[in-house]
Amino acid sequence: MSKVILPMESKKSINVWFVCGLSLCNFDCAYCASGVPNLQGKRTNDREWETEDGAFIFDKVLSWLSKQSYSIGLRLQTIGEPLVSRKFLEGVAYISHSENIRFVELVSNGSLIRKRLPFLKNKCGVDLTKLSMWLTHHHTEITPKEFVDQALYAKDQGVKVIVNSLLFPDNEDSVLKLNQLCKKYEIDINIDLGHNYNDAYPGTDYFAVSQDDRSLLLGELNSNLDVKRAAIVASLKPKGFLCSAGHDYVFISSKGDVFPCRSYYAGDPNNVLGSALDEHFRLNLRQSEYSPCRVRDICSCKEDYLHMQIARTNQTDTKSLGVGYFGAVSDSERSKMESVLLQANETKLIKVLETT
Ligand code: SF4
Ligand code: SF4
């Protein structure tokens, strides 16, 4: 019997966050979430892939994704910087032509766009209408002006571009400058709370500006504060909150293992749904939209916690897993969230969120 191919509109939409094993980066940020190479972090400065089979697994996962019967919004992330690798860009172009892929979002430091986007476009033949770039500015490595110049180049090529800025104790000026330049050139900008990874900001909390007057900037820049509240709750006590992970979202590790979310992967490998290396494994997602979170620890990644009901906002759908999703928050979830925020330590950050 011949295989029936459903049109894209009739397939259920899901989000997939795949962090593949490409580990090389041309930058060296102290607060890098992938760790510092000299301190046993996963990021590397001397080889392209974390493990010898990294590129092989990458290809297998992309092939598996192309066979799934969902309409997939894919954030295709790396441990390091995606644009350093030609092999990776060939994979991006391949998956962009799969009919079940709505968009392919790369998470990049933006520094190599002028050098590598022509290769991705002209040599690899990527479908530019599906390409999206989440460009995070790293203030210790590149000036706002150089960075925005690269972002503008991508935007002019027809790529969906969102500039991401991280608020740290030492980068108020660069966040303001970036915001000003993005407004001038009509580039979408998102401002998030910088995490104190690797104790890059000794003496600060998990969110490096928690006790800092600079957190006031979030209110001034009209950043999406509902999502910030969800970020704080997710960093403190997500267990029991309603979440759609496992229904309309999954995470895939660099080994090809598929989980309802990254925090379930980090919390317990037994939460695995299956392996994308197994060609017989098909995603069978939960029917009900929401289920109470069971994680034992925290939910630290934005790709994950944006699927909590308390993070739903009036954002419309876009080609990104970084800005949030449309939906309503129930009264009971809202009151649970307020209770967690009240129990939390008094910080300037929470006061900003209460009064804004
Ligand atoms: S650009 Fe990203 S991956 Fe590279 S060092 Fe900085 S934070 Fe880490
Ligand atoms: S709240 Fe976070 S850890 Fe819990 S199920 Fe949702 S995404 Fe996973």
Task: Please state the rounded mean pLDDT for residues 92-112.
Answer: 98
Of the listed ranges 122-131, 197-206, 327-336, the one predicted with least confidence? 197-206
Of the listed ranges 49-58, 65-74, 125-134, 215-224, the one predicted with least confidence? 215-224
Q: Show the domain range for 277.
A: 11-222+244-297
Residue 3 has pLDDT above 50, yes or no: no
Indicate the pLDDT class of residue 111, thresholds 50, 70 and 90: very high
pLDDT in tens, 25-37: 999 999 999 988 8
pLDDT in tens, 70-93: 999 999 999 999 999 999 999 999
Residue 305 has pLDDT above 80, yes or no: yes
Residue 170 is assigned to a structural domain of this protein? yes
Amino acid identity, position 351: K
Task: Please state the rounded mean pLDDT for residues 226-234.
Answer: 88
Q: How many structural domains is the chain composed of? A: 1
- pLDDT in the model for residue 210: 77
Nearest ligand to the CA of 321 is 2
Of the listed ranges 38-42, 322-326, 331-335, the one predicted with least confidence? 38-42
- pLDDT in the model for residue 7: 59
User: Helix (H, G, I), strand (E, B), or coil: what is residue 351?
Assistant: helix
The answer to whether the CB of 261 is under 6 A from ligand 2 is yes
Q: Which residues contact 332 (CB under 8 A, 6 or more apart)?
A: none
CA distances from 314 to 9, 247, 327, 328 (A): 22, 20, 7, 8
From the CA of 26, give the closest atom in ligand 1: 4
* Helix and strand totals (H; E) in the chain: 11, 11
pLDDT in tens, 145-195: 999 999 999 999 999 999 999 999 899 999 999 999 999 999 999 988 888
Select from 181, 132, 190 the least CA-distant residue to 161: 132
Residue 6 has pLDDT above 60, yes or no: no
Residue 331 is assigned to a structural domain of this protein? no
Q: Which residues contact 152 (CB under 8 A, 6 or more apart)?
A: 185, 187
Residue 332 is assigned to a structural domain of this protein? no
CA distance 95 to 118: 18
Q: Which residues contact 100 (CB under 8 A, 6 or more apart)?
A: 8, 11, 65, 66, 68, 69, 70, 71, 72
* Of 81 and 267, more confident: 81
The answer to whether the CB of 231 is under 6 A from ligand 2 is no
User: Helix (H, G, I), strand (E, B), or coil: what is residue 30?
Assistant: coil
Q: pLDDT > 90: what percent of the chain? A: 71
Spacing, Cα 287 to ligand 1 middle (Å)? 37
CA distance 333 to 336: 5
CATH of the domain at 198: 3.20.20.70
- pLDDT in the model for residue 268: 80
Residues whose beta carbon lies within 6 Å of some atom of ligand 1:
25, 27-29, 32, 34, 43, 80-81, 109, 138
Spacing, Cα 78 to ligand 1 middle (Å)? 10
Nearest ligand to the CA of 286 is 2
CA distances from 25 to 46, 234, 245, 307 (A): 9, 28, 29, 29
Of the listed ranges 52-66, 198-212, 238-252, the one predicted with least confidence? 198-212
Spacing, Cα 207 to ligand 2 middle (Å)? 19
- Say if strands 71-77 and 101-108 run parallel, antiparallel, or are unpaired: parallel
Residue 307 is assigned to a structural domain of this protein? no
Residue 227 is assigned to a structural domain of this protein? no
Residue 191 is assigned to a structural domain of this protein? yes
Planar angle of CA 287, 271, 319, nearest 5 degrees: 60
Spacing, Cα 28 to ligand 1 middle (Å)? 6
Residue 319 is assigned to a structural domain of this protein? no
Residue 2 has pLDDT above 60, yes or no: no
Residue 108 is assigned to a structural domain of this protein? yes
Q: CB neighbours (10 Å) of residue 167?
A: 22
Nearest ligand to the CA of 36 is 1
Query: Average per-residue pLDDT in the chain?
Result: 91
